[in-house]
Structure 1
Amino acid sequence: MNTQSNQRGLLKLRFFFIISLVIVLIFVVAYFFYSLVPLTEGAPSVKFQIIKGESLKEIATHLMEKSLIKSAFIFEFYALLSGRAQKFQPGIYDLSAAMSIPQIVNTLVNGGKDEVILTIVEGATLKDIDEFLSDHQVIEKNSLINFPLDRLSNTYPFLVNVEIKSLEGFLMPDTYHFKMYSSAADVLEKILNNFYNKAWPLLANKTDWYRLLILASYLEREVPKFEDRQIVAGIILKRFSHQMPLQIDATVSYAKCNGRLKTCPSPLVDKKDLEISSVYNTYKNLGWTPTPIANPSVNAIRAALTPKASPYWYYLSSKTGETIFSKNLDGHNLNKAKYL
């Protein structure tokens, strides 16, 4: 009797276990298929980037962060189950929360755009541009900074001079179409060709063209308006001819930030910075800096080529960005008290 009761108990237990297991499986399967379907209907597309070397888990996490999928786990599971987890291609994709996980997986396997449109802004430095392009997966970090100039001297007449040791000043500000994961040589070819076509015709017949390029970089960093740039160019050249320190704040900022202005915690120059020991400190050293301090626009280069004579010896930028000129040091000090 007890044996029969025990058997009935075991059968009931097995029955409840099987029923529970079936229910759990139903919920798991339901959740699996629920997670596969689009997150929402009619959602707009967003840009999604896979960086070379990213893991499946990282991709799934980023999809969740962009609110493109319901479950990172289900995405990973489906990608593994379908045998495509290792086939995702680096690139930029247009994805939407209206896409199902299978659709997203198919898209990531087929490959995205491998071209990015980026703008090198006027006044950016070599180190800024290197970091900017590497952040967008165009080049490896420091590959522009460390590029050997002797590989370019036979191609570009402005790099023939052995005294030129840096690409600073030659990286033409403009909007470019770059292939992702390009070589530094390919990227430089595009940028330097642009400099050759747009800036070099203005400089080529000037014996002191490199000094003018350096001057243009000062103007780019110091003064926004073309007419004011012409006046400031005249002031700087007048100081130089009178063997006065050029006293360009932007050169001190370049020294202070080690040529990396974009990520510099404090690029503004204060009084103690004027004592920085650097060949780029034009308060302590006479003459020009060894290289440009930025990559100037054609506008700044034209201003350097057309300096305007004026009675002014000093200038400053007000808090509103206006350039204020002074005829003497006393007037300059009064303007500093008034505008800064």
Structure 2
Amino acid sequence: MDQADPKRYIVLNSSQKKMALLFVFIGFFVVFPILGYFYYEIGVERPAQGFKETVFEIEEGESVSAIAKRLNERGLVNSELLFTSYLIRNNLQSKIQAGVYQIPPGASVKELANIFQFGTNDVKLTFIEGWRAEEYARYAASKLKRVDYEEFLKLAKNKEGQLFPDTYYMNIESDEAELVEKLTQTFDAKTKDLFVSPEFNSLGLTKSQVINFASTVEREINTAEDRPVVAGILIKRFKNNELIGADATVQYAVAEKNFCATQDNPAECPNKEQINQIDWWPGNIFAEDLEFDSPYNTRKNLGLPPSPIANPGIESIKAVIYNVPTTYNYYLTDAEGKAHYAETLAQHNENINQFLK
């Protein structure tokens, strides 16, 4: 083996090697830990990069690593490792409470850990587009201890169509009045610009009629691109003094009849246990249902239902205001939710045979 060329390499003698090892030892066991310590101490106090208050939810049983990952993805911590290390070092893993939190802008790791230890009184509520007031009542009563099904309906039923479907964070002590007020205030805030727009002013419909149509569109069609077209067809029927003929209104009427939603005959109304099992939108509509004598049945009666049949989302309201006029007079949706249109009844019957049988 060739010896190292002293002109090309620095050859350490025994004492120099010992000194080099000492420096490595000092660096590894002294300098690096000191640097790590200062990085940790500064890091846990350093504000995150978020500049606005943010809502963050911790699920029941969620692991610290999962929480840290989501915090990092949302930009609420500067390092997953730093957040996890702080909890472990301070023995806080088991003290993190599930709940919905309002995270202040620029909160540090230490501040977040402190916030998450004390839980929250907020409850997350998600109301779905197209739910009717009874579904709101059933859901809210299951989430908020001070909300009663019947009491909620008393306040909400005449607000049908204006209970805005969205995700809300309500104090667990909220009652029916507070929740209904929140839902309707959100509706007003979300729709106020729509109801002063030039398109609304030239539509020839009142605000109540737009909401009524939107509730039907929400239940009739699922795809965003088809809603304005279907809205145009329904509005054309209405203005031509034809039957609106929407199956969703039949579903609503049948549920009213079967489940006594109006409470006209309390002796036959379902109890609270039965209410939880009710399907407010029966999938099967029979021939006798189409002839059911209800003012909500637009297959039988001219005009709009007396009130909205559900609570529409913002896109369905927009679909009515910005509806698309076409030459189509009929529509249906197949098993996959795809819409098929027709100009004549004969074409519509062909679509029925092709897509629904």
Structure-2 change in CA distance of 1:45 and 1:297 (3 Å): closer
Letter in 1 for 2:148: E
Listed as ranges, the matches of 1:149-188 within 5 Å are: 166-188=158-180
Is the Cα contact below 8 Å between 1:216 and 1:301 reproduced in 2? yes
1:32 maps to which residue? none
Q: 1:265 to 1:241 in 2, by over 3 A?
A: closer
CA contact (8 A) 2:195 2:207 kept: yes
> How many residue pairs were aligned?
222
Give the aligned partner of residue 150 of structure 2: 142
- Tell whether the 8 Å contact from 1:314 to 1:329 is kept in structure 2 after alignment: yes
Does residue 186 of structure 2 align to residue 194 of structure 1?
yes
Q: Deviations 1:211-263 (Å, cap 9, x if unpaired)? A: 01111111100111222111111111111122111100000001111269982
Q: Which residues of structure 2 form unaligned runs of 5+?
A: 1-58, 63-96, 99-116, 262-274
The match for 2:321 among 271, 293, 305 is 305
Instruction: Measure the CA separation in 2 of the matches of 1:325 and 1:319.
Output: 15
User: Please, what is the CA RMSD of the aligned residues?
Assistant: 2.7
- In the other structure, the counterpart of 1:119 is 126
**1:128 paired to 2:143:** no
Contact 2:228-2:320 within 8 A present in 1 as well = yes
- Candidates 330, 341, 345, aligned match of 1:325: 341
**Cα distance in 1 for residues equivalent to 2:276 and 2:311:** 12
1:54-108 CA deviation, whole Å, 9 max, x = no partner? xxxxxxxxxxxxxxxxxxxxxxxxxxxxxxxxxxxxxxx75xxxxxxxxxxxxxx
1:264 aligns with 2:271: no
Residue type of the partner of 1:267? P
TM-score (normalizing by structure 2): 0.57
Letter of the 1:253 counterpart: Q
CA contact (8 A) 1:123 1:217 kept: yes
Q: Conserved in 1, the CA contact under 8 Å of 2:252 and 2:280? A: no
CA distance in 1, matches of 2:314, 2:351: 30
Matches within 5 A, 1:174-253: 174-204=166-196, 206=201, 208-253=206-251
Q: Distance in 1 between matches of 2:313 and 2:142?
A: 23
Post-superposition shift, 1:167? Answer: 0.8
Distance in 2 between residues matched to 1:202 and 1:231, nearest whole Å: 18
1:204, distance to aligned residue in structure 2 (A):
4.7
Q: Which sections of structure 1, spanning at least 5 residues, go unmatched?
A: 1-43, 48-92, 95-109, 150-164
1:325 aligns to what SS in structure 2?
strand
Q: Which residue is 1:104 aligned to? A: none
Pair 242,173 (structure 1): closer, same or farther in 2 beyond 3 Å: same
* Amino-acid identity (%): 33
Q: Flag the 1:146–1:117 CA change in 2: closer, same or farther, 3 A.
A: same
CA-to-aligned-CA distance 1:96-138 (integer Å, 9 cap, x gap) = xxxxxxxxxxxxxx99643211110111111110110001125
What per-residue deviation string (whole Å, max 9, x for no partner) do you get for residues 31-58 of structure 1? xxxxxxxxxxxxx9639xxxxxxxxxxx
Cα distance change of structure 1 residues 249 and 45 upon mapping to structure 2, 3 Å threshold: closer
Alignment counterpart, residue 297 of structure 2, candidates 257, 264, 281? 281
Equivalent positions of 1:96-115 (< 5 A) are 113-115=120-122
Cα distance in 2 for residues equivalent to 1:132 and 1:242: 39
Q: What secondary structure is seen at the aligned counterpart in 2 of 1:146? A: helix
